[in-house]
Structure 1
């Protein structure tokens, strides 16, 4: 909340928080003026468009006893998610409310007796539902399920494999002799023989490059894969992200945002051929010529997310894949059509041409397959 005290948007935001506090008082929670002021100050330091930030800011500043948590939880749902507060309904979009509801659906309070058994049953159903969603194809998910899955995607982390660099570091059992440190240690002891000090090569994470197909045939998967690509920006290695349909677009800078919605909107604006045709060979050839040849993916992992439906020249695709396989360490191809099958028999011309140069062919049609990819990436050598 960056508005100044006299600005109208800031006044409306504070008025919404005060109105919500009044709703809590109606529910039996004693909220003083000082508590509301602390709530507004806490909300000012957080993301004003994130309902979950608003939820936890209120829960930590307005609630003083554990038995008040269920009342607060219900009041928050009624006011911000069910449309009780007119100001909240105007400020937050339906997508934001659906996403917040998916995060608040699991009860957190401890109760006893029959109510406890009911909540345990509900927890079991929610856990079962979450496990089912992990195996549900992105194309068949409802908006509420997609919102829940995207919240899970935000928590995922990719860890590329490590390689030995040319730089070295001091070590107790390294292969190479550290002459400089050994001589310095000898001089410190006034010429007395010192033990031989050694060095070993440093380990560093391999660069990661994601190339995402956002053409019309990938419409059911492209946004979720883009969300997954956004989580990869928090990896310990260098990450580059590209999108292609009929042409290649670099979207690394657009996805370098903390808020996923903002990052995805910027990426969608940058990609001019979203939901259009598919030119895999031409796009990969452009990637090799403009980026890979200049060391962008040298020694790194290249991940191509596409269904292989290429309308271009297969010779161009074959040449691009052959050159790319020589420039990078490994090529991983995520094809949603693979599904849960252990092996994919290529049925499209693009996959037939690219298959000989692919080191790992995985799926990417659901959350479980993306988790499998993250595990495979970590274990890759």
Structure 2
């Protein structure tokens, strides 16, 4: 991270500015209480301003207690302390510029939440227009999209606080039903095929007289759902919202799953299944955060999949389990080891579905070594960056032949040839 000179207020009221900065953090979703504010003021007095980096990390040590809060903190610190015209900058982001046409651009991660926290209800001043008799303003809304439709297609990483809260409410109601699996075993039914042997056995109790025909049909069983969720630095925002979705599925009645198992992985594999049993989603994810110690860390997909195959596959992949792999595929390990672990996982599961947030890019191509190693061993390859993609997943589960974008990605891999294994993805 690069640091510029800090703009220390001319009036010298540094303590007041730290209080305002803490208030902005609180609005952005970082729990900062009065005790932390006092500690921050005392820490800054002790550290001084000899090093700009010390000031950044001094306040971070006092205000940030969880890895996922670092991104919002960094955005707020950059806008509040480094740019003296941060309010003007924030206003220009909230609305198009009045002075001219401003090209729209996607906000950076956590920038919308930082914007809302800093402006905190303020509105940019708009030039007054003199009203004249007979003036009418006509608005053509035929090509506009509704708020619900925009929310469904908005990238999770570009959502504001309010949009993220609304997205969580939508995902809590989203269903992920699964069709039952018909077993080869038979069982007695009121309606079905005639069971000859059962009918004869029943007639022997009546002296050989057939009183009624016994019926039977194939036994129905329900599969398990196993979710393997990447919580590395590049996946933190998406993993958090997808775990909200998984929690809703795990606590949903009548969805059809025999049991929902969930694991997180970054540099290590963590079983979080028991935490998802907590009915309150905030309490459940808080306990998940305490359990998984590698949030926003590195990525070792091959090693974690190997650990899952070795320690957990025999326990949770029974009943023809469906495996949901949530990762961007950007791995630091040897791609050969990743390919072997993915092949073993694929052979142990009934269906392996890969959700990749990188599919949000229109020009996405399988160029990274980890993506190239994983792609041949999945049954379906789908996007997982917004509500619409998760809704499409629910519809795809009912189609056993669904492959998503896998066939197109495999065609691109074959076109590149076996010798092409670049380390970067194209977007």
Please indicate the TM-score interval, normalised by the length of the shorter structure.
0.5 to 0.7
In the alignment, is the contact (CA less than 8 A) between 2:198 and 2:214 conserved in 1?
no
> In the alignment, does 2:165 pair up with 1:147?
yes
Structure 1 segment 192-341 matched on structure 2, within 5 A: 192-233=209-250, 234=252, 235-237=255-257, 238-294=259-315, 296-297=317-318, 299-339=320-360
In the alignment, is the contact (CA less than 8 A) between 1:298 and 1:328 conserved in 2?
no
In the alignment, is the contact (CA less than 8 A) between 1:279 and 1:310 conserved in 2?
yes
Q: Distance in 2 between matches of 1:154 and 1:295?
A: 24
In the alignment, is the contact (CA less than 8 A) between 1:301 and 1:328 conserved in 2?
yes
Residue matched to 1:346: 366
Displacement, 1:160?
2.3
Structure 2's unaligned 5+ residue stretches are 1-112, 117-141, 402-427
Displacement, 1:145?
0.2
- TM-score normalized by the length of structure 2: 0.56
> In the alignment, does 2:149 pair up with 1:131?
yes
Give the paired residue count. 259
In the alignment, is the contact (CA less than 8 A) between 1:318 and 1:354 conserved in 2?
yes
Residue matched to 2:385: 365
Residue matched to 2:375: 355
> In the alignment, does 2:380 pair up with 1:378?
no
Displacement, 1:295?
5.4
Q: Distance in 1 between matches of 2:316 and 2:204?
A: 42
Between stretches 231-240 and 133-142, larger displacement belongs to 231-240
In the alignment, is the contact (CA less than 8 A) between 1:334 and 1:363 conserved in 2?
yes
In the alignment, is the contact (CA less than 8 A) between 2:179 and 2:256 conserved in 1?
no
In the alignment, is the contact (CA less than 8 A) between 2:229 and 2:264 conserved in 1?
yes
Structure 1's unaligned 5+ residue stretches are 1-94, 99-123
Higher percent of residues as helix = 1
Residue matched to 1:191: 208
Q: Secondary structure at the match of 1:265?
A: helix
Q: Distance in 2 between matches of 1:257 and 1:151?
A: 17
The verdict on how the C-alpha distance between 1:185 and 1:159 changes in structure 2, with shifts beyond 3 A counting, is farther
- TM-score normalized by the length of structure 1: 0.63
In the alignment, is the contact (CA less than 8 A) between 2:199 and 2:212 conserved in 1?
no
The verdict on how the C-alpha distance between 1:295 and 1:136 changes in structure 2, with shifts beyond 3 A counting, is closer
Q: Distance in 1 between matches of 2:230 and 2:246?
A: 12
Q: Distance in 2 between matches of 1:322 and 1:373?
A: 22
Structure 1 segment 6-25 matched on structure 2, within 5 A: none
Which whole-Å deviations, capped at 9, do the CAs of 1:180-207 have from their partners, x for residues lacking one?
454225534x432345423111222221
The verdict on how the C-alpha distance between 1:260 and 1:204 changes in structure 2, with shifts beyond 3 A counting, is same
RMSD between aligned residues: 2.8
